[in-house]
Amino acid sequence: MPIIMDDTHQYAALLKFENIVHIEVNRKELWGPGSYISTLCIDDAEGDYFKVSLLLNSGDEVNITASKMIYSASE
């Protein structure tokens, strides 16, 4: 999942998920260039899995259950 981080400057980053057992993306609004992540929550799931919930500024949610998440930045 490519993302753009905005710390002191914007830079490209990547969230990679491995062993995905569930993914859900609801689309309440059309996505344009203004799709921002408002919140990111990580919760335990069953076994060695965890659930990542991303809430976008449009109100849309992306829910992913996986065993591993890898963040990498390419500044």
Handedness of CA 64, 24, 46, 21 (dihedral sign): negative
Poorest-pLDDT segment among 2-11, 18-27, 54-63: 2-11
Q: How are strands ordered across the β-sheet holding 50-56?
A: 22-25, 61-66, 50-56, 37-44
Q: Convert the pLDDT of each residue in 3-23 to its tens digit.
A: 777 767 777 888 899 999 999
Q: Cβ neighbours of residue 71 under 8 Å, at least 6 residues apart? A: 13, 14, 15, 16
Q: Convert the pLDDT of each residue in 31-45 to its tens digit.
A: 665 557 888 899 999
Q: What is the pLDDT of residue 43?
A: 94
Give pTM, 2 decimals: 0.77
Residue that is written with structure tokens 């591993």 in the block: 68
Q: What is the pLDDT of residue 51?
A: 96
Beta strand segments in the chain, E: 2-6, 10-18, 22-25, 37-44, 50-56, 61-66, 68-74
The answer, yes or no, to whether residue 75 has pLDDT greater than 80, is no
